[in-house]
A = this chain, B = another copy of it.
Amino acid sequence: MRIGELAARTGVSVRALRYYEEQGLLESGRSTSGQRRYPEPAADRVQLIQMLYAAGLSSRTILDLLPCVDAKVNTPESRARLAAERQRIDEQIAALTRTRDRLDQVIELSEGPASGCAHLGFHGV
């Protein structure tokens, strides 16, 4: 498929796909005229890349991890890298959970006691 279709399927921009290629995260075949051609599995790969970006990984880190994911590269270094990123994500989840709980406290205070709502008029839940 061509780049436009891949963009439409994955929901990322054409520019982003070219950027991924520039960063070495996504490869493409070329037609004789130089246009990019992608095989079907490229869509899954783009989804994975997006997933990792969304998890806060940099393109450099993703570049390091991708070979471990699909080519099953398996060295002590790659395993260490995977474990490290996994831990980073775990810590990020923990931090987010603490933040969420903190917000929950605030929300409870603002919704719970009628005292806080009294002077604003309390219309019930």
Contacts and interface: CB of A to CB of B under 8 A. Distances in A.
Contacts of A48: 102
Contact of A74 (B75, B85, B98, B117): B117
Contacts of A51: 95, 98-99, 102
Interface stretch (A12-20, A22-30, A31-39, A106-114): A106-114
A120 B74 CA distance: 8
Contacts of A93: 93, 96-97, 100
Given A55-B95, A99-B54, A106 B69 contact: yes
Interface of A: 48, 51-52, 54-55, 68-69, 72, 74-75, 78-79, 82-83, 85-86, 89-90, 92-93, 95-100, 102-104, 106-107, 109-111, 116-117, 120
13 contacts: A54-B99, A55-B99, A72-B109, A74-B116, A74-B120, A78-B110, A79-B111, A82-B103, A82-B110, A89-B100, A90-B100, A92-B96, A93-B96
